[in-house]
Amino acid sequence: MRLPTVADIERRIPRPDDFESRARGTALTARVGTALGICFAVCFATGMWSHFQYSTPGWLTLSPNPTQLYRWTQGLHIASGTAAIPLLLVKLWSVFPRLFNRPAAGARGLVVEVLERASIAALMGSTFFMLASGTLNIIGWYPWEFSFRRTHEAVAWVAIGSLVVHIGVKLPVIRTALGSPIEHPDEHLDPSAPTRRTVLRGAFAASGLAVLLTAGQSVPWLRKVSAFSVRPGDGPQDLPVNRTAAGAGTSETALDPAWRLEVTAGDRTVSLSRDELLAMPQSTHRLPIACVEGWSRSATWTGVPLRDLLALVGAEPDADVVVRSLQTKGAFGSSRVVGNVVEDGRTMLALSLNGEKLDIDHGYPARLIAPNRPGVFQTKWVNRLEVDA
C-alpha cells in the first residue's frame, strides 16, 4: 500500500469554487461586514466608557449628569455586542470558502497569504473572545481565573486594532462591493436557492431578534418580550438583586441592632444609628441601578444626602468619599465617590426603596445610591464613609 503524497492530500482539500451557494460573495460580505463594523464601533466606544468609570483618565471628571447616561451606554454596549453575534456568524459563512484559497505561486505569494491569514486569525480570535466572554459575563458566569474586566479591555484593543487593519486592507473591495447591486441580474440562478438579499435580511432579522430577546433587561416595555433576559426584574421591592446578603456574608451583621454608620474625616468621627439617620432631613429621588452586566432598573430611593453627612464632620460638600460596607467576602465591598458626585443632592445613603424599608438584599440598613453610576459602585450594607483628605 502506498502512503498518500502531499499532492494527493492537496487534491482532496476542497477549493473555493467547490462551494456552490451563490448567496456567498463580497456583495453579501461587505454589507454584513458594514453592519458588524458599526456594532463593533459602538461596542468598543461604550466599553471604553465603562472602563473609565473604574479607572478614570486625568482628562475626564466623572459627572452625576446626565442621570441616565451610564444606563444608556451600558445598555448600548450589551445590545451592540448581542447584535454582532448573528452578523459575525453570517459573515464567516459568507467567506468560509476562502479558507481553501491556495496561495499564488512563489515565495512572495506565500508570504502575502501567511500575513493575511495571520491578521484574520488575530481578528477572529479576538472578536470571538470578546463576544464569548461578554456573553458569559451577562449571564453572570465567570469560569476563568483572570480578571474579566482587564482581559476584556486588553483584548478589545487587539480586536479594534486588527479590525482597523482589516478594513484598511479590504477598503477597495468593500467600496466596489457596496457600490454595485447586491444581486446580479445576469447570473443564471437556481430559483429555489436563497438569494443574497434573503440571506442579508435573515442576518439583520436574527440580529434584531437577539437584541429584542435580551433588551428587556434594561428597557421596561420590552420586559415581557425578552425571553432571554437574565434578570427580568424579579427581586424584593421590584428590583433585581445581584449579590444577596447571604452571598456577601452580611445576613447577620446587617441585622445587628448595634449597627452604626461611622463618618470620618481626618481625626473627626461621627457615629449614627439608623434611627438617627431617619431623623435627619430625608430626600427622595428616582434613580436607576445600571449593572455593568447589562440589566438596569429605576426605583424610588429615600435617604440622607451624602453631603449632609459630610457636613457633620466638617468636610467640604465636594470631597471624595470612600464608602465601606459590612461585606467580608468577594469583590465590590467598597467604592469611591468623586467630589462632583458627592456634591449632587441626589447622591444619598438610601434607607428606603419604593416607599418601603430597604430589603436586606438591597443593602439594609443603608446603601449608597448616586446618579449616573455603574451598579457595582452602588455599595450595599454601608457602615463607613471615609472622607479622603
Give yes or no for a contact between 131 and 77, defined as CB atoms under 8 angstroms apart.
Answer: no
Under the binding rule (CB under 5 A), the answer on residue 253 touching Mo ion is: no
Q: Site mask, Mo ion, residues 283-322, x = CB under 5 A?
A: --------x-------------------------------
Our CB check for Mo ion shows the closer of 242 and 302 to be 242
Handedness of CA 343, 349, 351, 352 (dihedral sign): positive
Binding-site member from 24, 362, 366, 372 for ligand MTE (CB under 6 A): 362
Q: How far is CA 133 from the centre of its chain?
A: 10
Among 131, 376, 385, 387, which residue interacts with ligand MTE (rule: CB under 6 A)? 376
Which one of residues 359, 375, 380, 383 is an interface residue with Mo ion (CB under 5 A)? 375
Q: Cα 98 vs. chain centroid, distance in angstroms?
A: 32
Q: Which of residues 224-243 bind Mo ion (CB under 5 A)?
A: 242
Choice between 293 and 344, CB closer to ligand MTE: 293
Are 229 and 293 within 8 A, CB to CB? no
Task: List the beta strands (DSSP E) in 14-112.
Answer: none
Among 380, 383, 385, 387, binds ligand MTE (CB under 6 A): 380
For Mo ion, give the closer residue by CB, 293 or 343. 293
Q: Is 177 in the site for ligand MTE (CB under 6 A)?
A: no
Tell me how crowded residue 282 is: count the other CB atoms within 10 A of its CB. 16
Q: Counting contacts by CB under 6 A, is residue 159 touching ligand MTE? A: no
C-alpha cell at 50: 465603562
Q: Among residues 64, 333, 365, 371, which is the contact residue for ligand MTE, using CB under 6 A?
A: 333
End-to-end CA distance of the chain: 84
Radius of gyration, alpha carbons of the chain: 27
Helix and strand counts by DSSP (H, E) for the chain: 10, 10
Whichever of 200 and 376 has its CB closer to Mo ion, that residue is 376
> How many residues at the interface with ligand MTE, by CB under 6 A?
20
Of residues 226 through 285, those in contact with ligand MTE by CB under 6 A are 239-243, 248
Look up cell 444609628; give the residue: 273
Select from 194, 222, 193, 224 the least CA-distant residue to 208. Answer: 222
Nearer to Mo ion, 343 or 359 (CB): 359
Beta carbons within 10 angstroms of residue 119's beta carbon: 14
The b/e string for 209-230 (b: 16+ C-beta within 10 A; e otherwise) is: ebbbebbbbbbeebeeebeebb
323 within 8 A of 379, measured Cβ to Cβ: yes
Q: Say if strands 348-353 and 382-387 run parallel, antiparallel, or are unpaired.
A: unpaired
Q: Is residue 90 within the footprint of ligand MTE (CB under 6 A)?
A: no
Comparing CB distances to ligand MTE, the nearer of 83 and 289 is: 289
Which of these segments, 68-76, 78-86, 162-170, 373-381, binds ligand MTE (CB under 6 A)? 373-381
What is the nearest approach in angstroms of Mo ion to the Cβ of residue 125?
28
Site for Mo ion in 336-355 (CB under 5 A): none
d(CA 20, CA 17): 7
327 binds ligand MTE (CB under 6 A): yes
Q: For residues 98 and 149, which CB has a smaller minimum distance to Mo ion in the complex?
A: 149
- Residues near Mo ion (CB under 5 A) are 242, 291, 375-376
- Residues near ligand MTE (CB under 6 A) are 239-243, 248, 289, 291, 325, 327, 332-333, 362-363, 375-376, 378-381
